[in-house]
Amino acid sequence: MKKYLLPAITYCLLLTLLPALPSLAVQKTPSEPADMQVQSSEMPVFVEFTMPPTEQETMAAPSSPTVYYPVLDTQSGEVMQISERDYVIGAVCAEMPASFEPEALKAQAVAAHTYAHRIALYAESHPDKSLNGAYFSDDPNKYQAFYTNEEIRERFGSDYALYYNKVADAVDAVLSEILTYEGEPIVAAFHAMSSGRTESAEHVWGTQTAYLMPVDSTGDKDAPRYEQDAVFTQDVTKKRLTGARKGLTLPEDPQEWFSDLKLSESGTVLKLRVGDAAFTGQEIRSLFSLRSAAFSVKFADGAFTFTTRGYGHNVGMSQYGANAMAKEGKNYREILAYYYTGAEITEVA
């Protein structure tokens, strides 16, 4: 893996924010797709993690030497040694509904694998002592979400064999592949659904990235809960705003509290005026735990209504958009090429 150049620290830090983000409101649930570390002075306990085959499961053995990722279990403090294959399966199960099309699951598998591969490269030379020797943890608020086999069984219940096999088949088809740009693993950002057009990384994280540029993703508009209202009373709204910005002065008329919204071409709120202060759309999204920063706001009957479009940070691959493309007959390579402009699929040893 050392044949790749290590990415800049900015990008590596960016990786810790990726799947997350609906404020990190994406929960570990396969029904609705994507900062805390465990401190310990004790020596890590390494647990060999495997997924034993059952009669109903297809458990093809990898033909190449098995790669393992050390992953911190934040509840027990143990460091699990999880095979690359098991990790990608667990990440796909946690990050994308297993009911999605096989080609969308393959695209998610490549993105999840790229995420893990890139973090592993960085962790090898920049170990985080708080992780007790692990590359990353199972905390979805900081890293890519991941399910152990036990969690997959619990989540899928009686449909475990059906959905596990479906995801495993998708992962097995693409496990040797990651996404690269100019020879390096990319920041494989993904989100649940866009506003109808994905966003530039520059507008979300402040760094322009050639392969994370806006593209149309109109299939998202048919996704469940594409448009969603979040309602807050005037008192709650004032408390959150003044708590976030000391000395903030708000007009007497609540209709004038929010003004001058500046939108990107993708509909993300970049800047706005709140009383006598300037806020970013990302700040407002975080303050009110909104599903996205593509929102409008209005006041009526003593309450503010934020109407959001899409779910997530809106950068990179839209998961619902990928599923819509798969339903149209596009394969995973076409999906990845569309959402990650200029990135290449590369075989990893």
213 in any annotated domain: no
Closest-CA residue to 287 (of 333, 252, 240): 240
Separation between Cα atoms, residue 328 and residue 130, nearest integer Å:
45
Residues 146 and 31 grouped into a single domain = yes
What confidence score (pLDDT) does residue 133 get?
92
0.85 surpassed by pTM: no
Percentage of the residues of the chain whose pLDDT score is greater than 70: 81
Residues 237 and 186 grouped into a single domain = no
Residues 184 and 52 grouped into a single domain = yes
Q: Which band of pLDDT confidence, cut at 50, 70 and 90, is reported for residue 111? A: very high
214 in any annotated domain: no
Separation between Cα atoms, residue 140 and residue 117, nearest integer Å:
17
Residues 117 and 186 grouped into a single domain = yes
Residues 184 and 131 grouped into a single domain = yes
Residues 108 and 125 grouped into a single domain = yes
Please check the confidence at residue 184 and state whether its pLDDT lies above 70. Answer: yes
Half-sphere exposure of 110 (CA within 13 A, CB side): 32
pLDDT digits (tens, 9 = 90+) for 155-179: 999 999 999 999 999 999 999 999 9
Residues 27 and 50 grouped into a single domain = yes
Q: How many domains does the chain have?
A: 2
Residues 133 and 19 grouped into a single domain = yes
Separation between Cα atoms, residue 183 and residue 348, nearest integer Å:
12
Residues 54 and 77 grouped into a single domain = yes
Closest-CA residue to 131 (of 40, 15, 11): 40
The residue with greater pLDDT, 239 or 138, is 239
Q: Which band of pLDDT confidence, cut at 50, 70 and 90, is reported for residue 64? A: low
Tally of CB atoms within 10 A around 273: 15
305 in any annotated domain: yes
Residues 192 and 146 grouped into a single domain = yes
Residues 17 and 158 grouped into a single domain = yes
Domain ranges, residue 336: 9-208+314-347
Separation between Cα atoms, residue 320 and residue 339, nearest integer Å:
12
Q: Which band of pLDDT confidence, cut at 50, 70 and 90, is reported for residue 190? A: very high
The residue with greater pLDDT, 35 or 60, is 60
Separation between Cα atoms, residue 38 and residue 129, nearest integer Å:
10
Residue type for 273, please? R
2 in any annotated domain: no
Mean pLDDT, range 116-133, rounded to an integer: 91
283 in any annotated domain: yes
Residues 156 and 14 grouped into a single domain = yes
261 in any annotated domain: yes
Question: Mean pLDDT, the chain, as a whole number?
Answer: 85
91 in any annotated domain: yes
74 in any annotated domain: yes
